[in-house]
Amino acid sequence: MNEANEIIVDIHTHHPRSGVLSPTMAGIHPWDAERGIAPPDFANCDIVGETGLDYACDVDRATQERLFREQLGAAERLQKPVVLHVVKAFEPAVNIIANYKIEGVVFHGFIGSVQQALEALRRGYYLSFGERSLRSSKTRQAIVATPLERLFCETDDNPALDIAEVYTEVAAIKGVTLAELKKEIYKNYKTLFRL
Ligand SMILES: [Zn+2]
Protein backbone atom coordinates (compact mmCIF):
# COMPACT_ATOMS: atom_id res chain seq x y z
CA MET A 1 0.00 0.00 0.00
CA ASN A 2 1.46 3.39 -0.91
CA GLU A 3 1.40 6.40 1.37
CA ALA A 4 -1.48 8.21 -0.36
CA ASN A 5 -3.80 5.28 0.25
CA GLU A 6 -3.27 5.57 3.99
CA ILE A 7 -4.12 9.25 4.30
CA ILE A 8 -7.72 9.94 5.17
CA VAL A 9 -9.03 13.51 5.07
CA ASP A 10 -11.90 14.80 7.20
CA ILE A 11 -12.47 18.24 5.67
CA HIS A 12 -14.73 19.49 8.44
CA THR A 13 -14.67 18.26 12.01
CA HIS A 14 -15.04 19.82 15.44
CA HIS A 15 -13.22 16.82 16.94
CA PRO A 16 -9.81 16.42 15.27
CA ARG A 17 -8.42 12.89 15.59
CA SER A 18 -4.88 11.64 15.31
CA GLY A 19 -4.29 9.84 12.05
CA VAL A 20 -6.94 11.89 10.27
CA LEU A 21 -5.94 14.92 8.20
CA SER A 22 -8.18 17.94 8.94
CA PRO A 23 -7.64 21.64 8.29
CA THR A 24 -7.68 24.05 11.22
CA MET A 25 -10.56 26.51 11.06
CA ALA A 26 -11.24 30.05 12.28
CA GLY A 27 -14.62 31.62 11.79
CA ILE A 28 -17.89 32.81 13.24
CA HIS A 29 -20.78 30.44 12.61
CA PRO A 30 -24.03 32.07 11.42
CA TRP A 31 -25.72 30.73 14.58
CA ASP A 32 -23.34 32.94 16.60
CA ALA A 33 -23.70 36.03 14.43
CA GLU A 34 -25.50 38.09 17.10
CA ARG A 35 -23.12 37.21 19.94
CA GLY A 36 -20.62 39.99 19.26
CA ILE A 37 -17.67 37.57 18.99
CA ALA A 38 -14.33 39.25 18.23
CA PRO A 39 -12.90 38.50 14.78
CA PRO A 40 -11.03 35.16 14.93
CA ASP A 41 -7.36 34.77 14.09
CA PHE A 42 -7.90 34.15 10.40
CA ALA A 43 -4.20 34.53 9.58
CA ASN A 44 -3.28 31.42 11.58
CA CYS A 45 -5.85 28.96 10.29
CA ASP A 46 -5.87 26.71 7.24
CA ILE A 47 -9.42 27.52 6.26
CA VAL A 48 -11.84 30.36 7.08
CA GLY A 49 -15.09 29.09 8.55
CA GLU A 50 -17.40 27.82 9.14
CA THR A 51 -19.18 30.85 7.79
CA GLY A 52 -22.32 31.28 5.73
CA LEU A 53 -26.05 31.83 5.99
CA ASP A 54 -28.62 29.78 7.87
CA TYR A 55 -32.19 30.81 7.15
CA ALA A 56 -33.58 27.94 9.22
CA CYS A 57 -32.38 29.55 12.47
CA ASP A 58 -33.80 32.73 14.01
CA VAL A 59 -30.58 34.77 13.94
CA ASP A 60 -31.08 38.12 12.22
CA ARG A 61 -30.38 37.65 8.50
CA ALA A 62 -28.79 41.05 7.93
CA THR A 63 -26.32 40.36 10.75
CA GLN A 64 -25.53 36.91 9.34
CA GLU A 65 -24.91 38.49 5.94
CA ARG A 66 -22.65 41.20 7.33
CA LEU A 67 -20.46 38.64 9.12
CA PHE A 68 -20.46 36.36 6.11
CA ARG A 69 -19.21 39.21 3.92
CA GLU A 70 -16.54 40.17 6.46
CA GLN A 71 -15.23 36.60 6.58
CA LEU A 72 -15.26 36.23 2.81
CA GLY A 73 -13.31 39.49 2.70
CA ALA A 74 -10.74 38.06 5.14
CA ALA A 75 -10.44 34.85 3.10
CA GLU A 76 -9.94 36.85 -0.09
CA ARG A 77 -7.32 39.08 1.51
CA LEU A 78 -5.43 36.17 3.09
CA GLN A 79 -5.93 33.88 0.06
CA LYS A 80 -7.46 31.11 2.14
CA PRO A 81 -10.25 28.72 1.25
CA VAL A 82 -13.58 28.90 3.05
CA VAL A 83 -15.80 26.23 4.56
CA LEU A 84 -19.46 27.13 4.28
CA HIS A 85 -22.47 26.45 6.46
CA VAL A 86 -25.47 27.17 4.24
CA VAL A 87 -28.99 26.11 5.20
CA LYS A 88 -32.08 27.12 3.22
CA ALA A 89 -30.05 29.97 1.75
CA PHE A 90 -28.34 28.49 -1.30
CA GLU A 91 -29.17 31.25 -3.79
CA PRO A 92 -28.39 34.22 -1.53
CA ALA A 93 -25.13 32.54 -0.41
CA VAL A 94 -23.81 31.83 -3.91
CA ASN A 95 -24.80 35.33 -5.04
CA ILE A 96 -22.76 36.87 -2.19
CA ILE A 97 -19.72 34.60 -2.73
CA ALA A 98 -19.64 35.60 -6.41
CA ASN A 99 -18.52 39.09 -5.29
CA TYR A 100 -15.29 37.78 -3.76
CA LYS A 101 -12.24 36.13 -5.24
CA ILE A 102 -11.92 33.06 -3.04
CA GLU A 103 -9.23 30.44 -3.62
CA GLY A 104 -11.44 27.49 -2.73
CA VAL A 105 -15.02 27.13 -1.56
CA VAL A 106 -16.23 24.03 0.30
CA PHE A 107 -19.93 23.58 1.00
CA HIS A 108 -19.84 21.59 4.21
CA GLY A 109 -22.58 19.11 5.11
CA PHE A 110 -24.10 19.66 1.71
CA ILE A 111 -27.79 18.86 1.59
CA GLY A 112 -29.56 19.76 -1.61
CA SER A 113 -30.86 18.78 -4.98
CA VAL A 114 -28.86 17.61 -7.98
CA GLN A 115 -29.67 20.97 -9.55
CA GLN A 116 -28.12 22.90 -6.62
CA ALA A 117 -25.10 20.60 -6.59
CA LEU A 118 -24.55 21.21 -10.32
CA GLU A 119 -24.90 24.96 -9.80
CA ALA A 120 -22.26 24.90 -7.04
CA LEU A 121 -19.97 22.71 -9.17
CA ARG A 122 -20.41 25.01 -12.17
CA ARG A 123 -19.10 27.82 -9.98
CA GLY A 124 -16.03 25.72 -9.15
CA TYR A 125 -16.98 24.85 -5.58
CA TYR A 126 -16.37 21.63 -3.67
CA LEU A 127 -19.15 19.70 -1.95
CA SER A 128 -18.55 17.93 1.35
CA PHE A 129 -20.89 15.21 2.53
CA GLY A 130 -21.51 13.94 6.04
CA GLU A 131 -23.99 11.74 7.84
CA ARG A 132 -26.97 14.10 7.40
CA SER A 133 -26.22 14.34 3.68
CA LEU A 134 -26.30 10.54 3.46
CA ARG A 135 -29.70 10.39 5.14
CA SER A 136 -31.22 12.69 2.50
CA SER A 137 -32.35 10.82 -0.61
CA LYS A 138 -32.18 13.90 -2.87
CA THR A 139 -28.64 14.54 -1.59
CA ARG A 140 -27.61 10.95 -2.34
CA GLN A 141 -28.57 11.78 -5.94
CA ALA A 142 -26.42 14.91 -5.66
CA ILE A 143 -23.48 12.71 -4.58
CA VAL A 144 -23.97 10.60 -7.69
CA ALA A 145 -23.79 13.84 -9.74
CA THR A 146 -20.64 15.16 -8.00
CA PRO A 147 -17.37 14.22 -9.70
CA LEU A 148 -14.71 12.66 -7.47
CA GLU A 149 -12.39 15.61 -8.07
CA ARG A 150 -14.83 17.99 -6.36
CA LEU A 151 -15.92 15.93 -3.40
CA PHE A 152 -15.02 15.74 0.29
CA CYS A 153 -16.28 13.79 3.32
CA GLU A 154 -16.67 15.01 6.88
CA THR A 155 -17.78 14.11 10.40
CA ASP A 156 -18.67 17.70 11.46
CA ASP A 157 -19.85 17.82 15.08
CA ASN A 158 -20.39 14.11 15.77
CA PRO A 159 -17.55 12.88 18.02
CA ALA A 160 -18.71 9.24 17.74
CA LEU A 161 -18.65 9.10 13.95
CA ASP A 162 -15.59 7.54 12.30
CA ILE A 163 -14.75 9.30 9.03
CA ALA A 164 -14.11 5.87 7.48
CA GLU A 165 -17.84 5.10 7.83
CA VAL A 166 -18.71 8.15 5.72
CA TYR A 167 -16.08 7.19 3.13
CA THR A 168 -17.47 3.66 2.93
CA GLU A 169 -20.98 4.88 2.16
CA VAL A 170 -19.85 7.55 -0.30
CA ALA A 171 -17.56 5.04 -2.07
CA ALA A 172 -20.53 2.69 -2.49
CA ILE A 173 -22.66 5.50 -3.97
CA LYS A 174 -19.84 6.49 -6.33
CA GLY A 175 -19.06 2.89 -7.26
CA VAL A 176 -15.38 3.14 -6.34
CA THR A 177 -13.19 1.36 -3.79
CA LEU A 178 -12.36 2.91 -0.44
CA ALA A 179 -8.72 3.21 -1.52
CA GLU A 180 -9.70 5.07 -4.70
CA LEU A 181 -11.90 7.47 -2.78
CA LYS A 182 -9.14 8.19 -0.23
CA LYS A 183 -6.68 8.84 -3.02
CA GLU A 184 -9.05 11.21 -4.87
CA ILE A 185 -9.99 13.15 -1.74
CA TYR A 186 -6.37 13.53 -0.66
CA LYS A 187 -5.67 14.88 -4.15
CA ASN A 188 -8.54 17.37 -3.67
CA TYR A 189 -7.08 18.39 -0.32
CA LYS A 190 -3.72 19.11 -1.91
CA THR A 191 -5.37 21.10 -4.71
CA LEU A 192 -7.49 23.09 -2.24
CA PHE A 193 -4.49 24.04 -0.10
CA ARG A 194 -2.07 24.28 -3.05
CA LEU A 195 0.28 21.71 -1.49
ZN1 LIG B 1 -19.62 22.25 11.71
Cα of 109 to ligand 1 centre, how many Å? 8
Helix (H) or strand (E) holding 189: helix 178-192
Q: For domain 3-192, which architecture applies?
A: Alpha-Beta Barrel (3.20)
Query: What SS3 state is found at 25?
Result: strand
Segment 94-121, tens digit of pLDDT: 999 999 999 899 999 999 999 999 999 9
Cα of 153 to ligand 1 centre, how many Å? 12
Cα of 173 to ligand 1 centre, how many Å? 23
What average pLDDT score do residues 174-192 get? 97
Phi/psi for 179 (5° steps) reads -65, -40
In this predicted structure, what is the pLDDT of residue 3? 52
- Cα–Cα distances (Å) from 178 to 13, 168, 183, 185, in that order, read 20, 6, 9, 11
Q: Sorting pLDDT into bands at 50, 70 and 90, what band is 6?
A: confident
Contacts of 167 (CB under 8 A, 6+ apart): 8, 153, 178, 181, 182, 185
Segment 123-168, tens digit of pLDDT: 999 999 999 999 999 999 999 999 999 999 999 999 999 999 999 9
Segment 43-71, tens digit of pLDDT: 999 999 999 999 999 999 999 999 999 99
- Residue 73 CA to residue 97 CA, distance in Å, equals 10
Cα of 179 to ligand 1 centre, how many Å? 26
Flag whether pLDDT at 2 surpasses 70.
no
Map out the domains of the chain as residue ranges.
3-192
Could you tell me the pTM of the whole model? 0.94
In this predicted structure, what is the pLDDT of residue 61? 97
Q: Please state the separation of Cα 63 from the chain's center in Å.
A: 22
Query: What SS3 state is found at 163?
Result: helix
Half-sphere exposure (Cβ direction) of 39: Cα atoms closer than 13 Å: 15
Cα of 11 to ligand 1 centre, how many Å? 10
Pairing assessment for the beta strands 151-153 and 126-129 based on DSSP bridges: parallel
Helix (H) or strand (E) holding 114: helix 114-122
Please check whether residue 20 is in contact with residue 8, taking contact to mean a CB–CB distance below 8 angstroms: yes
